[in-house]
């Protein structure tokens, strides 16, 4: 018997976008303020988990056809390869750098290579958290 | 800056993660992981020769200078262990590739084996206590998965115990790190060593050192080995060989590092306790090794005896004894891998796990029989095999230190090792054959090849003592003179 979850589904449809935006904000804020890849990743994955709770696994999987194990693996690869990338510039493993650019809309903007590394972390976290939640739900 | 230092840890991780994408192609999984480990072995050999040239190599991650950033520090001791553990992992992976355990291969057996090796290599190389904790966790998380992979009932019961005990000890480890950071304000091992020397290791720091002793003893199976025999005997052959060869050795490595580099000012307290623990471990291991008839239990108790034996060298705490321990560590990494592979192969061909359930195997499998005899002699410390050099030097060093009781216990335990394994040999390989020709299980050549290579290596390590001894002497020299390590780990580049 399926309970009536119209309210949950309606709220989720809106809330998911708010959570996703907040996740991206946290991810980008992380360079100078609290936030970053790990926390941003956790927030992003909570949006996915909310979707899985509000709708069922099949519906969400049909909408977002991703193998989350592979998302996690891609994230880890990105993180390691950005660390290895420093080797190409003859600096130590995991070295990072940043510079200021004048971008058309944002004006003077700081761009840092650490964002690439953090994006790997974020993907890794999203992949692992969603994989764990889906595996637990399969058990029941 | 020596970026090469990070490769023994990063290459297995990269390969492991890439292999996740090839889940349905077992051939790529098998040969990809073997090739990766061959590359890691070659790189670590190269670093070992560099280290002989320059004593200490260091890499500052992200170019943060020590003691602020995390460093990888390679000395001869660490590199000898990285090299031998990479070598034994190649052979265990080769065995796994021919054992073709498709049920486990499908669920990422090889990626997790590679991650385990990455954690082990990272633990050997790191120069930072907290990073050591992280590398331990990488290794342990991979081992939790390998422990339960396959989901047999026995694995799950033993897996729960294994995970609980390791989580507890990790928690103690973290606690010890917090105490140390609270009292000394640094976690870089070379910097810690300096500050402990400045403070003269007061009782508070000695107490903290005991906490580390407990933590690493749990990982190494020193006295606190109750979890070990059960969990090691629940595993598939290749995995159990890798566990026996590597996991406890990381704990032993940490004990050596911590009690020669950091807490070496109060040997009358710490090293005496280590000596007592070594005796208890050897006694307990010996009793276990002759009490059981289950092959895998006997092999697991042999792991425990060896741990006690290696730590006799640390308890004696002089250069000869430490050299002996390093020899014995390398020997034990190779030969415990060999022992578990052979035991697994015997169980594979007979389908029996107890030593009185089969006999006369040597008529059907002569090579396997003789390899087992070589393993037995090597573990017993009979020349010209590799166990001899280590036992000789440990004995010599411990006598120099005047530790007569420990020496007596150590050599008595060698007799128990010899007896427990000869018992298997006489019962299972000797005598009337119990397998008829038509029921004979065909032993794939690929499964016996890694055993053969390992047996050749133990002979080679025994005969080639002259080739290895400069490396071991250098490693022991650095361990006994912490200022060399500190100088290399902290100096400006």
Any A CB within 8 A of B452 CB: no
pLDDT in tens, B471-486: 999 999 999 999 999 9
Distance between CA atoms of B147 and B101, rounded to whole angstroms? Answer: 15
B62 contacts A96? CB cut-off 8 A = yes
Distance between CA atoms of B64 and B61, rounded to whole angstroms? Answer: 6
DSSP 3-state assignment of B60?
A: strand
- Mean pLDDT for chain A overall: 89
* CA–CA min distance A40, chain B (Å): 22
pLDDT band at A139 (very low <50, low <70, confident <90, very high): low
**A131 falls within a domain:** yes
pLDDT band at A1 (very low <50, low <70, confident <90, very high): very low
Distance between CA atoms of B192 and B181, rounded to whole angstroms? Answer: 9
Q: Residues B125, B73: contact at Cβ < 8 Å?
A: yes
B74 membership: H or E segment, kind and range: strand B71-74
Distance between CA atoms of B126 and B411, rounded to whole angstroms? Answer: 34
pLDDT in tens, B372-391: 999 999 999 888 898 898 99
3-state helix vs strand vs coil in chain B, percent to 5: 80, 5, 20
Distances (CA, A) of B107 to B21, B69, B93, B123, B371: 12, 37, 16, 26, 32
Q: Residues A113, A101: contact at Cβ < 8 Å?
A: no
CA dihedral B27, B30, B35, B41 (to 10 degrees): -170
**A1 falls within a domain:** no
Any A CB within 8 A of B65 CB: no
* CA–CA min distance A115, chain B (Å): 15
A95 contacts B21? CB cut-off 8 A = no
Predicted confidence at residue B110, as pLDDT, reads: 95
In A29-128 the beta strands, taken as DSSP E runs, fall at 98-103, 107-112
> A87: which chain B residues are within 8 Å (Cβ-Cβ)?
3
Locate the chain A residue with the closest alpha carbon to B10.
Answer: A80
Distance between CA atoms of B14 and B12, rounded to whole angstroms? Answer: 6
Any B CB within 8 A of A135 CB: no
Its domain, for residue A73, covers 6-139
Residues A104-122, buried b or exposed e (16+ Cβ, 10 A)?
A: eeeeeeeeebbbbbbbbbb
Q: Which residues pair with A98 in a beta bridge?
A: A112
A70 contacts B20? CB cut-off 8 A = yes
Distance between CA atoms of B92 and B107, rounded to whole angstroms? Answer: 18
The interface pTM score, or ipTM, of the predicted complex is 0.90
How many pairs of residues across A and B have Cβ atoms under 8 Å apart?
41
pLDDT-above-70 percentage for chain A: 96
Radius of gyration of chain B (CA): 21
Nearest to A92 among B13, B20, B63 (CB): B63
Q: Outline where B365-481 has alpha helix (H).
A: 366-380, 387-400, 404-424, 445-463, 465-480
> A77: which chain B residues are within 8 Å (Cβ-Cβ)?
14, 17-18
Predicted confidence at residue A104, as pLDDT, reads: 85
Interface test with B, best of A92, A96, A113 (most B CBs within 10 A): A92
Report the domain count for chain A: 1
The token pair at B393 is 């030097």
Nearest to B3 among A73, A80, A93 (CB): A93
**A25 falls within a domain:** yes
Nearest to A94 among B13, B17, B62 (CB): B62
> A96: which chain B residues are within 8 Å (Cβ-Cβ)?
62
Low-confidence ranges of chain B (pLDDT < 70): 437-438, 493
**A80 falls within a domain:** yes
Predicted confidence at residue B89, as pLDDT, reads: 96
The token pair at A42 is 């956790």
Predicted confidence at residue B102, as pLDDT, reads: 84
Any B CB within 8 A of A87 CB: yes
pLDDT band at A138 (very low <50, low <70, confident <90, very high): confident
B60 contacts A77? CB cut-off 8 A = no
Nearest to A95 among B13, B21, B63 (CB): B63
Give the residue from B327, B488, B309 showing the smallest Cα distance to B416: B309
* CA–CA min distance B132, chain A (Å): 18
Interface test with B, best of A93, A98, A117, A131 (most B CBs within 10 A): A93
Any B CB within 8 A of A88 CB: no
């Amino acid at each position: 018997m399926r309970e009536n979850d119209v309210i949950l589904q309606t709220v989720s449809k809106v809330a998911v976008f708010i959570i996703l935006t907040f996740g991206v904000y946290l991810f980008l804020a992380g360079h100078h303020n609290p936030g970053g890849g790990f926390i941003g990743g956790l927030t992003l994955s909570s949006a996915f988990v909310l979707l899985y709770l509000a709708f069922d696994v099949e519906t969400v999987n049909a909408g977002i056809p991703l193998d989350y194990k592979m998302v996690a693996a891609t994230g880890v690869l990105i993180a390691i390869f950005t660390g290895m990338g420093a080797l190409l510039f003859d600096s130590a493993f995991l070295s990072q750098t940043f510079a200021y650019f004048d971008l058309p809309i944002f004006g003077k903007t700081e761009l840092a290579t650490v964002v690439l590394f953090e994006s790997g972390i974020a993907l890794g976290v999203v992949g692992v958290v969603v994989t764990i939640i889906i595996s637990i739900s399969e058990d029941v | 800056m020596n970026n090469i230092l990070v490769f023994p840890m990063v290459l297995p991780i990269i390969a492991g993660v890439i292999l996740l994408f090839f889940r349905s192609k077992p051939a790529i999984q098998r040969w990809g992981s073997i090739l990766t480990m061959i590359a890691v072995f070659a790189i670590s050999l190269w670093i070992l020769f560099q280290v002989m040239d320059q004593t200490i190599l260091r890499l500052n991650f992200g170019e943060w200078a020590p003691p602020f950033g995390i460093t990888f520090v390679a000395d001869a001791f660490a590199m000898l262990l990285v090299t031998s553990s990479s070598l034994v992992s190649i052979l265990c992976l080769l065995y796994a590739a021919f054992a073709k355990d498709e049920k486990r291969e499908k669920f990422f057996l090889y990626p997790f084996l590679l991650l385990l090796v990455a954690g082990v290599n990272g633990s050997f190389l790191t120069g930072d206590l907290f990073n050591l904790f992280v590398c331990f966790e990488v290794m342990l998380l991979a081992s939790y998965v390998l422990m339960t992979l396959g989901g047999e009932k026995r694995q799950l019961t033993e897996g729960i115990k294994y995970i609980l005990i390791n989580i507890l000890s990790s928690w103690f480890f973290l606690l010890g790190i917090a105490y140390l950071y609270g009292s000394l304000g640094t976690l870089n091992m070379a910097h810690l060593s300096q500050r402990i020397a400045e403070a003269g290791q007061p009782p508070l720091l000695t107490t903290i050192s005991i906490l580390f002793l407990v933590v690493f003893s749990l990982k190494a199976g020193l006295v606190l080995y109750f979890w070990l025999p059960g969990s090691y005997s629940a595993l598939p052959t290749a995995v159990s060989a890798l566990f026996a060869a590597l996991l406890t050795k990381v704990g032993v490595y940490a004990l050596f590092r911590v009690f020669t580099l950091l807490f070496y000012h109060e040997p009358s307290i710490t090293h005496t306790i280590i000596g007592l623990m070594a005796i208890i471990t050897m006694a307990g291991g010996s009793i276990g090794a002759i009490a059981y008839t289950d092959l895998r239990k006997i092999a697991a108790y042999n792991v425990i005896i060896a741990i006690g034996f290696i730590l006799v060298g640390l308890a004696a705490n002089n250069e000869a004894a430490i050299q002996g321990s390093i020899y014995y560590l390398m020997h034990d990494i190779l030969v415990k891998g060999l022992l578990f592979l052979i035991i697994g192969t015997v169980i594979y061909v007979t389908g029996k796990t107890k030593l009185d359930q089969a006999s006369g195997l040597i008529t059907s499998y002569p090579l396997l029989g003789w390899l087992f005899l070589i393993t037995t002699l090597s573990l017993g410390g009979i020349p010209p095999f590799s166990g001899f050099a280590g036992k000789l030097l440990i004995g010599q060093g411990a006598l120099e230190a005047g530790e007569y009781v420990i020496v007596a216990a150590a050599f008595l335990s060698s007799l128990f090792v010899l007896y427990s394994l000869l018992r298997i040999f006489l019962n299972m390989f000797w005598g009337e054959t119990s397998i008829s020709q038509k029921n004979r299980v065909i032993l794939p050549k690929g499964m016996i090849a890694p055993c053969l290579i390992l047996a050749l290596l133990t002979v080679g390590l025994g005969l080639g003592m002259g080739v290895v001894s400069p490396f071991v002497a250098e490693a022991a020299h650095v361990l006994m003179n912490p200022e060399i390590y500190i100088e290399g780990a902290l100096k400006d580049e």
